[in-house]
Amino acid sequence: MSDLTDIRTPALVLDTGRLQRNLTRMQSRARELKVDLRPHMKTGKSVDVARAATAGQAGGVTVSTLAEAAYFAEAGFTDITYGVGITADKFAEVAEIAGKTGAKVNVVLDSLAAARALADWDGPAGAPIPALIEIDSGQHRAGIAADDAGLLDIARCLHDASGAELAGVMTHAGHSYNCGSVEDIVAVAEAERAAVVSAAERLRAAGLPCPVVSVGSTPTALHAKHLDGVTEMRPGVYMFGDRFQAALGSCDTTDLALSVLATVVGVYPARGLALINAGGLALSQDRSMDAVVGEPSYGAVYDLPGQQALDGLRLGNVNQEHGFLFGDVTDLAVGQRLRVFPNHACMTAAMYDHYHLVDDATAITGTWGRNNGW
Amino acid sequence: MSDLTDIRTPALVLDTGRLQRNLTRMQSRARELKVDLRPHMKTGKSVDVARAATAGQAGGVTVSTLAEAAYFAEAGFTDITYGVGITADKFAEVAEIAGKTGAKVNVVLDSLAAARALADWDGPAGAPIPALIEIDSGQHRAGIAADDAGLLDIARCLHDASGAELAGVMTHAGHSYNCGSVEDIVAVAEAERAAVVSAAERLRAAGLPCPVVSVGSTPTALHAKHLDGVTEMRPGVYMFGDRFQAALGSCDTTDLALSVLATVVGVYPARGLALINAGGLALSQDRSMDAVVGEPSYGAVYDLPGQQALDGLRLGNVNQEHGFLFGDVTDLAVGQRLRVFPNHACMTAAMYDHYHLVDDATAITGTWGRNNGW
């Protein structure tokens, strides 16, 4: 069997022991909160990860692209929510995935224009597309306000259309990523819950169905006091964790399951610099840790087993295929291998087509594939 | 034939008319400067792009990964330079690519440790690996100084080894990207040339061969006054151009050949916001234009034909699959398609497995594949 000492670098490494602990923790949270867990697969993008993440749950998943929807549907997942606002140019593909695999592919929209486009679409007879109305719970990205007069118009348009099905309401409290404390996250979680529950109540008061009441972000899923009135949650990045989530308090650095294996390609003690062959593509150019670290930092550098942080080295710059380690590099050697724990797991993983699996050691126990692109 | 109005979004679009003009311009520069053009394929990563880029040239290419080296060798390219510092863990793969395809795969190193590792490597008999010594011409990324005492030790180590071949010297003036004026770029180009030529002269004065004297960056290739003593140049991003290169003066915005086709998925006039389905993955999280624009800007937003800049819209934030357009969005509609010209073509293109080809119109004239990953 191969080992982290001999595979090609850069490579994506997934610690399955840490993954399983992270999955178990969120599954417990879902039970505790009495909601279904519909994990967001935008981070893992892998049927193997999805099977482990949905174990003991209702089986639904969330996806970020229609390529993922097709990939998971073909792998046997039968209840898939595509979380990015749907547009008319994608109706045919949604119907095709559903028709070919029998999976339910739920779409999301937040405007009467999009609802009307779906209602007017001449899709396959007898196969209405289930649609969730996206509610803005404070992030002010997508979504209609829960108290917006237009909410009921969208809901009625979907409910009355033969080609659509009013599936419920959903929201994403992405602003939980900006919180400075657990107390702030608790407050955002309650705002997220309250927004979507009040939207659901408005629909029901108007005689409309609202079977699904969906929330979702890793920080709010972990810190919500309760989710009364909610039916499901859709966190994603909790599976792997990352530096940014650790800084937010969503996990500990010893929970981080995803890392990049890199090789030192140059050591320049006089410059206080070493170069690794993991740069902006292998790690992403995510800058979310700048504010935490106080200067640019593209990942946390560890020894090959991933156990010991090399705190004297800052991964302070990336070019396309070069990572710059600044600090005292005298202990590094050309050819040496290191592990880098990424700032943002979703962005980093997206550059690789598979995971090398390890379990708290450098021996590789297997590989899992990933779906990328669109 | 399909059209930009009907393909799945986000999608990568390459304007072949603009590409060809950019290629012709650099081919003329190479003739004018009397050097071979060994285009860096880290941007294009496509055999079709490479065939057009090497037309009328010696035929050599530069690559940024061994995956690219294998891809181009298998496609018939016979002279390939892998531009990232080589380490012992990659010798076998270099030899395998060369052995399987007959291609010459030149590697790059800048330390006696790496040279000795290559000299000591027990590779296939009679198939020495050609190695270039990387010279630091002022970027202070990789490379040994041209006047470093150790340069000759590295050169002799390579020259004396049966498994290696001293192929010459190379440098990359990456600091040309930091220049504030054409005059600054002219000065960096001369420093780049002088560094590598003086290194070559030292090797030759010591009785060592130095057939290749290689420079390379798009700004310096375009602005060097002369390249006396240089044998080849390795620019890459000139093929497509990007917003950052346009800001540097390497091209005009009407030369930009690469763009991303996106769909508007939400319009929120009260928030001064619209969302497109091209975010941090579809565009990259490249921040190189922040300093130019004065605030975050992840790409230049144009109309669907890519002719008219929508100057009132700033692509000021990205999430994984969402791009945020800030400004007056009242003229936008859900479902509308837009084109985004990226900040950094290499980083953006790397997320896609193929190009949709257009020529100054929305009709798609074909597709070209790409090589990604490692």
- CATH number, domain with residue A302: 2.40.37.20
User: Does A142 sit within 8 Å of B275, measured CB to CB?
Assistant: yes
DSSP state of B10: S
First to last CA, chain A: 33
Percent of chain A with pLDDT over 90: 99
The two tokens of residue A18 are 């840490």
Average pLDDT over residues A104-112: 98
CATH number at residue A148: 3.20.20.10
Q: Are residues B265 and B310 in the same domain?
A: yes
Total H helices, total E strands in chain A:
12, 18
Q: How many CB atoms lie within 10 A of CB A28?
A: 11
Among B209, B240, B271, the domain-final residue is: B240
A10: chain B residues, CB-CB within 8 Å = 374
**CA–CA gap between residue A110 and residue A135 (Å, rounded):** 7
Judged against a pLDDT cut of 80, whether residue B123 lies above it is answered with yes
Q: Where would I find the H helices in B102-164? A: 112-120, 150-160
Residue B290 burial (10 A CB sphere; 0-12, 13-18, 19+): middle
Residue B297 burial (10 A CB sphere; 0-12, 13-18, 19+): buried
Contact A340, A259 (CB under 8 A): yes
Q: Are residues A325 and A345 in the same domain?
A: yes
Average pLDDT over residues B58-80: 98
pLDDT at position B111 is 98
Judge whether A15 lies within some domain: no
Q: Are residues B146 and B265 in the same domain?
A: no
Please check whether residue B293 touches A, CB under 8 A.
Answer: no
Judge whether A329 lies within some domain: yes
Q: Alpha carbon of A324 to those of A279, B142, B175, B229, B362: distances in Å?
A: 8, 10, 15, 31, 41
**CA–CA gap between residue B188 and residue B175 (Å, rounded):** 8
CA angle in degrees (0–180, nearest 5) for B15-B20-B22:
95
pLDDT at position A1 is 65
The two tokens of residue A25 are 């923790």
Q: In sequence order, what are the residues at sequence separation of 6 or more whose Cβ sits closer than 8 angstroms to the Cβ of residue A261?
A: A4, A7, A9, A10, A11, A12, A13, A304, A337, A338, A339, A356
Judge whether B112 lies within some domain: yes
Contact B280, B241 (CB under 8 A): no
Judge whether B10 lies within some domain: no
Strands B323-327 and B313-318: antiparallel
- The H or E element containing residue B166 is strand B164-170
B32: confidence class by pLDDT, cuts 50, 70, 90: very high
Q: In sequence order, what are the residues at sequence separation of 6 or more whose Cβ sits closer than 8 angstroms to the Cβ of residue B125?
A: none
Q: Are residues A69 and A177 in the same domain?
A: yes
Tens digits of per-residue pLDDT, B223-281? Answer: 999 999 999 999 999 999 999 999 999 999 999 999 999 999 999 999 999 999 999 99
pLDDT at position A289 is 97
Judge whether B77 lies within some domain: yes
Tens digits of per-residue pLDDT, B166-209? Answer: 999 999 999 999 999 999 999 999 999 999 999 999 999 999 99
Kindly identify which residue of chain A lies nearest to residue B323, measuring between CA atoms. Answer: A141
Judged against a pLDDT cut of 90, whether residue B349 lies above it is answered with yes
As beta bridge partners, residue A219 has none
Average pLDDT over residues A82-108: 98
DSSP state of B128: P
Contact B142, A265 (CB under 8 A): yes
User: Does A84 sit within 8 Å of B322, measured CB to CB?
Assistant: yes
| DSSP per-residue string spanning B272-301 | TEEEES--HHHH----TTHHHHSS----EE
As beta bridge partners, residue B61 has B80
Q: Are residues A286 and A200 in the same domain?
A: no
CA B351 to mean position of chain CA atoms? 15
CA atoms in the 13 A half-sphere facing the CB of A71:
24
**CA–CA gap between residue B212 and residue B37 (Å, rounded):** 12
Judge whether A200 lies within some domain: yes
Contact B254, B360 (CB under 8 A): no
The two tokens of residue A61 are 């998943």
Angle subtended by helix axes B91-101 and B66-74, to nearest 10? 10
As beta bridge partners, residue A168 has A132, A212
Contact B240, B22 (CB under 8 A): yes
Task: Return the number of CB contacts < 8 Å for A and B.
Answer: 156
Q: Are residues A332 and A215 in the same domain?
A: no
- Map tokens 């898939």 to a residue: A80
Residue of A320, A348, A353, A355 to mutate for B, most B C-beta atoms under 10 A: A320
Contact B175, B139 (CB under 8 A): yes
Contact A358, A4 (CB under 8 A): yes
Tens digits of per-residue pLDDT, A238-276? Answer: 999 999 999 999 999 999 999 999 999 999 999 999 999
Residue A8 burial (10 A CB sphere; 0-12, 13-18, 19+): middle
A349: chain B residues, CB-CB within 8 Å = none
The two tokens of residue B43 are 């941007």
Considering only CA atoms, which of B217, B220, B231 is closest in space to residue B132? B231
Among A217, A240, A263, the domain-final residue is: A240
Angle subtended by helix axes A66-74 and A91-101, to nearest 10? 10
Average pLDDT over residues B38-50: 98
User: Does A319 sit within 8 Å of B141, measured CB to CB?
Assistant: yes
Specify the number of domains making up chain A.
Answer: 2
**Which amino acid does the sequence have at B295?**
E
Is the ipTM above a cut-off of 0.90? yes
pLDDT at position B204 is 98
Judge whether A245 lies within some domain: no
Of A273, A333, A352, the CB nearest to B373: A352
Q: Are residues B315 and B193 in the same domain?
A: no
Average pLDDT over residues A88-106: 98
Q: Are residues B150 and B258 in the same domain?
A: no
| Phi and psi angles of residue A8, each rounded to the nearest 5 degrees, phi first | -65, 140
CA-based max dimension of chain A: 73
Q: Are residues A164 and A295 in the same domain?
A: no
Please check whether residue B114 touches A, CB under 8 A.
Answer: yes
User: Does A87 sit within 8 Å of B335, measured CB to CB?
Assistant: yes
**CA–CA gap between residue A84 and residue B345 (Å, rounded):** 25
| Phi and psi angles of residue A91, each rounded to the nearest 5 degrees, phi first | -60, -45
pLDDT at position B235 is 98
Contact B109, B161 (CB under 8 A): no
**CA–CA gap between residue B142 and residue B150 (Å, rounded):** 15
User: Does B113 sit within 8 Å of A142, measured CB to CB?
Assistant: no
A268-292 per-residue burial string, b: 16 or more CB within 10 A, e: under 16: beeeebbbbbbbbbbbbbbebbeee
Q: Are residues B235 and B317 in the same domain?
A: no
Contact A131, A166 (CB under 8 A): yes
Judged against a pLDDT cut of 70, whether residue A124 lies above it is answered with yes
**CA–CA gap between residue A245 and residue A252 (Å, rounded):** 8
Judged against a pLDDT cut of 70, whether residue B222 lies above it is answered with yes
Among B240, B265, B291, the domain-final residue is: B240
Kindly identify which residue of chain A lies nearest to residue B263, measuring between CA atoms. Answer: A87
The two tokens of residue A110 are 């937040």
Contact A264, A278 (CB under 8 A): no
B1: confidence class by pLDDT, cuts 50, 70, 90: low
Q: Alpha carbon of B54 to those of A359, B48, B57, B162, B349: distances in Å?
A: 46, 10, 5, 31, 20
Q: Are residues B281 and B140 in the same domain?
A: no
Judge whether B220 lies within some domain: yes
**CA–CA gap between residue A50 and residue A47 (Å, rounded):** 5
| DSSP per-residue string spanning B89-106 | GGHHHHHHHHHHH--EEE
Q: How far is B209 from chain A (nearest CA, A)?
A: 24
Mean pLDDT of chain A: 97
Please check whether residue B316 touches A, CB under 8 A.
Answer: no
Q: By residue range, what is the domain housing residue B136?
A: 34-240
Cis peptide before B269 (omega within 30 of 0): no
Residue A51 burial (10 A CB sphere; 0-12, 13-18, 19+): middle
Q: Are residues B257 and B232 in the same domain?
A: no
